[in-house]
Amino acid sequence: MAKLSGFIFAVASLSIPAFASQACTSIYNLTVPGAEVLNITSVLQSNVSTPAFPPGPTEGGLSFCDVTVVLTHPGENDTVTTEVWLPLTGWNGRFQATGGGGFLSGIGPAELGPAIVQGYAAASTDGGNIGLGIGINPAAFTSDGPLPGIMADYIYRSVHDMAVIGKAVTASYYGKAPNYSYWNGCSTGGRQGLQAAQAYPDDFDGIMAACPAINLAEALIAIEWPYIVMNNDKTAPSQCVFNAFLNASIAQCDELDGVKDGLISNVTGCAFDPYQLVGTQVLCDGTNVTISEAVATVYRKILDGPKSPSGDSLWPGLYVGVRTDDLYPGDAHTVTTNGTTVAVPFPVGDEWVTYFLERNSSFDTHSITYADVPELFAESVSSYGNDSSNNPNLSPFQKAGGKLIVWHGLSDNLLPPAGTLRYRQKVEELLGGTDAVNDFWRLFFVPGVSHCGGGYGPVPTDALAAVVAWVENGTAPDTLPAEYVNYSGATVNHDICKYPLVSRYDGKGDPKVASSYTCAESFEPAS
């Protein structure tokens, strides 16, 4: 390895053009306002394979310049690492910053690989490592809670630094600045994108923010709520029993949108009553299980969301039609072993209570009572409400010419979609109503889809492409193309309509074809 001015450069023994090597190893003069750059490492990579996120086909045979920048913010005692991948050939002239999940600020290769395959220069950040995997990093916490510098990195600062670094490294490598810069993320990544629009409106020309974990202080109590319910009611339904409620709700509400397709599109119009299943039997692992009133009560409370003991709603719950046994176990996760079922908390909600609110790594979340919930909710909002990425004033982003697409699965099993709707409504109240906000932000609610994908509904196939078309060509999307494989194994194409419109079946076409649907103001079937 060569060393120059305190920076380390490594060049792998690869069969690649000399100019690529020279361009990669010349990236060393970098300034990040408000931060001190500690180290820059540049490595030429060849024939690399990466996973994809959400899980999908592996990206293989990748060659790129891999630049890692380590920095700190003076006085903050933090260390933040940003990685930038630069395709050796076929750069599309764009920069893409990618997001994280849970307490992880960036997912790294699983998102960088797909981005450079499409020709983007792409970046990911560890956000100072408040998280390890999806859960927290205990080293980032003291008895007073999260270290202030690391909390700032996680909420807002590391994304801005990544934008500065990514654009500068891209310009250094290719000899010109990117023509356009984009954000692409889901869950925490969705929150980070909206936070960037709120705090740094000039960082990105376009933002794709799916299933955003905004309203952080409120939403994380909502994530913990099903675990609290099952513990307090001493009733944990098996996933098989949960599926009985799912199937019954689909049977009742599937055709509210005018077509029988196995989806609940009209979730707010679905008056499903879980108590109607009391006394019925469901076959689970070869045994007939009778659904009790206690089980129906648990299901009702999960849909209702966190409440005070007096019944006051604190935050919305999950929508009817949620799939609890999805690829990513959600809020209402249970595990059955030898006939005994226990509730399993989702780590993000559980660790939020343990480390952020109780500030005690030994705290037993199993002991939380219904009476404790309002106090926990109030503490969460009081301590972290300003860190919840839900500032409705998007006017600076609008004035900067930025474009934003948000989609959220109506069957999200982690983050209540109603939280995203509440945020949208606040933005509309502030900025002049639905049409005014639609000029720069299009929102899409997707039936049957779980958190960031999965579930049993049509997942948007390339929402970022819609952002790019809007930014670069002025093509504002009225629909998002989406696709899934239904229960019979058939591929279904379905366009998702922009909020507040809904998809309405034309009454005669093939329900598996997108052209059989139109966007309408209500779910009333076509005459």
Catalytic residues: 187, 412, 451
**Could you give the C-alpha distances from 196 to 74, 89, 115, 190, 309, in angstroms and in order?**
22, 29, 19, 10, 37
Beta strands, E only, 27-160:
36-50, 59-72, 80-87, 94-98, 121-125, 131-132, 135-136, 141-142, 145-146
Q: Please report how many Cα atoms fall inside a 13 Å half-sphere around the Cα of residue 395, on the Cβ side.
A: 8
Residue with tokens 């720069």: 440
Three-state SS for 65?
A: strand
Q: Helices H, strands E: what count in the chain?
A: 14, 24
Beta strands, E only, 147-270:
180-186, 206-210
The answer to whether residues 510 and 486 touch, using CB atoms and an 8 Å cutoff, is: no
Helix (H) or strand (E) holding 426: helix 417-431
The answer to whether residues 357 and 164 touch, using CB atoms and an 8 Å cutoff, is: no
Distance of alpha carbon 79 from alpha carbon 161, whole angstroms: 12
Q: Which amino acid is at 161?
A: D
Taking alpha carbons only, the member of 49, 104, 43 closest to residue 69 is: 43
Cα dihedral sign, 315-319-325-326: negative
Three-state SS for 343?
A: strand
Distance of alpha carbon 151 from alpha carbon 195, whole angstroms: 14
Q: Which amino acid is at 505?
A: Y
Distance of alpha carbon 348 from alpha carbon 258, whole angstroms: 38
Helix (H) or strand (E) holding 515: none
Q: Exposed, middle or buried: residue 309 (CB in 10 Å: 0-12, 13-18, 19+)?
A: exposed
Taking alpha carbons only, the member of 67, 44, 191 closest to residue 121 is: 67
| Alpha helix (H) residue ranges in 96-139 | 109-117
**Could you give the C-alpha distances from 148 to 63, 103, 142, 157, 360, in angstroms and in order?**
38, 15, 10, 12, 17
Distance of alpha carbon 345 from alpha carbon 329, whole angstroms: 10
